[in-house]
A = this chain, B = another copy of it.
């Protein structure tokens, strides 16, 4: 059940013409501020506004005709939801998505907009796993995990493949690559690709201070489950544990995990608005936040690439961040 670089290359071939090859962009002002080249991979420009389409499509396109007829079910706070919903629509199969009642409205509406059936649940009193299992049993629908699945990891890895090749084309020898961590699907896929193509590049995961289970897990050498004590403004990064498939890859490939506070995330979102003109959601901003807060030593002053993993943020929250209320 592990994932290889060949799996990522195969996923890239499947995604060609379906996913957006997002550009790698550079801001002279940001370079000057950081004293090193910073290459941004705005997956905000991906279909559904987040990298999640890559893994979802790579998973769903490999289902058999019989499986497609039965449809899929997934649970997600929003970006995986949209990725699965759109991939299912494109591939002509029904999708049921189980989402928390407090998920960002923009994510719930978009998921419905792609034609999926959305079931809302209460984050505190109900089990999303149980709801998904019931749907799966009743309808025979295939459960599509958000991160702990080799096809999902390989799909997200296509982002890393593009990133390294685009950086090479831009003449940048990457010292480090930063990617957000929740369940580890993105960071493990990206790290596999980066380590295959550019072994000397350090891959650093970034997670919210309030959800630092990945860092604790790497320190302890086993998966540590986060106690549900607090919330982060990064709704996309609230997985309380990393996966059985993603964790071994992370152990093998990650140089470090940096932590960022909500205040640092909000500051990064404002910087992206003001200086980069990019709309980035809280969870998508953690890499930029870590850089701006001076929390990334990896790679020294060599070029660093940052994955801006998604841009699905409610207008109300965004307006509050812009006004400095967060």
The interface centre, meaning the residue of A27, A47, A274 with most chain B CB atoms within 10 A of its CB, is A274
Q: Is the CB of B273 within 8 A of A315?
A: yes
Q: Is the CB of B319 within 8 A of A106?
A: no
A318 within 8 A of B: yes
**Nearest CB on B from A59, distance (A):** 19
| A106 (CB) vs chain B CBs: closest residue | B274
| Chain B residues, CB < 8 A from A28 | 20, 47
**A318 CB contact (under 8 Å) in B25, B45, B322:** B322
A108 within 8 A of B: no
| A26 (CB) vs chain B CBs: closest residue | B20
Copies of this polypeptide in the complex? 2
A61 within 8 A of B: no
Q: Is the CB of B323 within 8 A of A319?
A: yes
Query: Chain A 273-308, CB within 8 Å of chain B: the 1/0 string?
Result: 111111110000000000000000000000000000
A42 within 8 A of B: yes
**Nearest CB on B from A271, distance (A):** 12
Q: Is the CB of B26 within 8 A of A25?
A: no
Chain A contact residues: helix, strand, loop or mixed? helix
Docked CA distance A205–B42 (Å): 29
A49 within 8 A of B: yes
**Nearest CB on B from A11, distance (A):** 18
Q: Is the CB of A315 within 8 A of B311?
A: no
Known: A25-B23, A26-B20. A311 touches B47 (CB 8 A): no
A316 within 8 A of B: yes
| Chain B residues, CB < 8 A from A253 | none
Known: A25-B23, A276-B45. A322 touches B315 (CB 8 A): yes
Docked CA distance A278–B113 (Å): 20
| A28 (CB) vs chain B CBs: closest residue | B47
| Chain B residues, CB < 8 A from A20 | 25-28
| Chain B residues, CB < 8 A from A27 | 20, 45
Docked CA distance A326–B311 (Å): 23
Q: Is the CB of B47 within 8 A of A25?
A: no
Within A9-65, the residues touching B (CB, 8 Å) are 20, 23, 25-29, 42, 44-45, 47, 49
Question: Which 7 pairs between the two chains have the least Cβ-Cβ distance?
Answer: A277-B311, A319-B319, A44-B277, A315-B322, A23-B23, A277-B279, A319-B322
